[in-house]
Structure 1
Amino acid sequence: MQANTPRPRCPDCNRPTSHCLCPLISPQPSATQLLVIQHPDESRHALNTARLLTLGLDNAQLLVCEELPPEWQAWLTDPHWQTRLLFPRPDAQPLDSRSCPAPLRLVLLDGTWRKARKLLHVNPLLQQLPAVLLDNPPTSRYRLRKASEAGALSTIEAAAEALATLEPGFERERLLRPFEALINDQISAMGDDVWQRNYR
């Protein structure tokens, strides 16, 4: 019996080539530098929004790890930059130009809440960064995951809101275009009945 042949995938967005999202990705600039630290378990997830996020920005990088490599520890402590962690810690300040003065580096953690907290736990340097949070975040469009915490957003949604808050003229919808297509494609694949029964 012949084994199933894996479907070819786009090397950039990592989607099956028949469902490649790259035509919807239009990278845009930002004065804010973004670092997305992704838990390794999340990198294998089909709905990987961190990859779409970093493809959609000229000034963003994706780091897949649990413990930060030494070179990234130096990046986080560069005295020429103001570095903030976008995470709803109890001491987090509302994100705005006062809590995030330029030149700014913004760090986001990508994973489930449990995995994100593990990233914080094993990296004391992340714990030491001043934390900021989104003030009155919108309802998530991530209709395929049930968040365990109120106001939770996917990584790409959180970044879009943060940059729209910090930088006048930033095109939030331009960044979210492939994300919307990804969600709609997954709902179409599972069928509306299944989606209604499990996610509505």
Structure 2
Amino acid sequence: MDSPGESASSSSSSGERRRTCTTGCGRPMSVCLCHTLPTNPLPTATKIVILHHPHERRHKLATVPLLPKCLQNCEIIVGRKLKYGKSELLDSLHDQHCENPNLPLGRALYLFPGPNALPLVEANRVYSSFDDVSKDDLVLIVFDGTWKHAKEMVLASIPFLSKFAVQVCLDFDAGIKGGTIFDSELILRKEPFGGCVSTMEAVARCLRVLEPNNGVDIESRVIEVLRAMVSFQACFLKPRTEND
């Protein structure tokens, strides 16, 4: 009989049934992460909106489903583009800037590397210099998908986002080959170039910068969950040889 928080699902070819955590992380019990999750999702001044590509919903290494279990102010939108009507929060920002085009940009930041992206630290400094600024007003928008899908999602969303949001980036280097799980304890999949990280790690790194009082602690708690997830995954992989 299943213990609390477990259920039998996903029949295997041998007729055995795989137990899944149903009240916590939602992962198979063999790789359950509930012991690393915060007892209650952590409060943040920053509001987080994630556009989650539909294909990622089926990917066993997707980190986005864990983020609302770690963070209170985290909204997930499943789709391929952001547009009016997808999020009440983003719609309100769009309307404010349409009604008052002179409002300074900077309350909403969308994370994606590129030549026009402002380093996150610099964008945060600019935002903090606004008169009567409140960190409770800051919104971070993140795109979750493969590198190819993420680029498509950003391009499709720019007509909407450009009305009220600023593009920002973490440090990256397109000239350096991307890492794999064998190169870093926090990488789950092959990355396109150096500095690219999973959505979960990207959100954690951003909150370290954006959260005024306890960003370091929030980052640490989120990274702890990711580290456990990567550790489980590494157990199922064979180490690379020098010829790989």
> TM-score, normalised on structure 2?
0.69
- The separation in 1 between residues aligned to 2:202 and 2:16, in whole angstroms, is 36
Determine if the alignment matches structure 1 residue 114 to structure 2 residue 148.
yes
- The separation in 1 between residues aligned to 2:83 and 2:35, in whole angstroms, is 33
- The separation in 1 between residues aligned to 2:144 and 2:25, in whole angstroms, is 16
Could you say which residue in structure 1 is the equivalent of 2:196? 152
- The separation in 2 between residues aligned to 1:145 and 1:127, in whole angstroms, is 30
- Structure 1 residue runs without a partner (length 5+): none
Could you say which residue in structure 2 is the equivalent of 1:84? 109
- The separation in 2 between residues aligned to 1:154 and 1:68, in whole angstroms, is 20
Q: CA deviation at 1:20?
A: 1.6
Tell me which of 161, 166, 170 is aligned to 1:126. Answer: 161
Determine if the alignment matches structure 1 residue 98 to structure 2 residue 109.
no
Tell me which of 27, 32, 43 is aligned to 1:15. Answer: 27
Tell me which of 72, 76, 98 is aligned to 2:86. Answer: 72
Are 1:49 and 1:155, in contact at CA under 8 Å, matched by a contact in 2? yes
Q: CA deviation at 1:67?
A: 3.5
Could you say which residue in structure 2 is the equivalent of 1:169? 214
- The separation in 1 between residues aligned to 2:17 and 2:75, in whole angstroms, is 28
Q: CA deviation at 1:196?
A: 3.2
Q: CA deviation at 1:126?
A: 3.5
Q: CA deviation at 1:147?
A: 1.1
- The separation in 2 between residues aligned to 1:197 and 1:36, in whole angstroms, is 36
- Bigger proportion of residues as strand: 2
Amino acid at match of 1:38: H
Q: CA deviation at 1:78?
A: 2.0
Identity of aligned residues (%): 32
Q: CA deviation at 1:5?
A: 5.4
Change (3 A) 1:151 1:100: farther
SS at structure 2 position matched to 1:48? coil
Q: CA deviation at 1:68?
A: 3.7
Determine if the alignment matches structure 1 residue 25 to structure 2 residue 52.
no
Are 2:204 and 2:223, in contact at CA under 8 Å, matched by a contact in 1? yes
Determine if the alignment matches structure 1 residue 41 to structure 2 residue 85.
no
- Size of the aligned set, in residue pairs, is 194
RMSD value, Cα: 2.7
- Structure 2 residue runs without a partner (length 5+): 1-11, 97-105, 129-134, 174-178
| Greater relative CO, 1 or 2 (CA 8 Å, sep 6+) | 1
Change (3 A) 1:143 1:98: closer
Could you say which residue in structure 1 is the equivalent of 2:233? 186
Q: CA deviation at 1:144?
A: 3.5
Query: Which 10-residue stretch deviates more, 119-128 or 104-113?
Result: 119-128
Q: CA deviation at 1:112?
A: 1.1
- The separation in 2 between residues aligned to 1:100 and 1:159, in whole angstroms, is 18
Tell me which of 69, 73, 90 is aligned to 1:55. Answer: 69
Q: CA deviation at 1:99?
A: 4.1
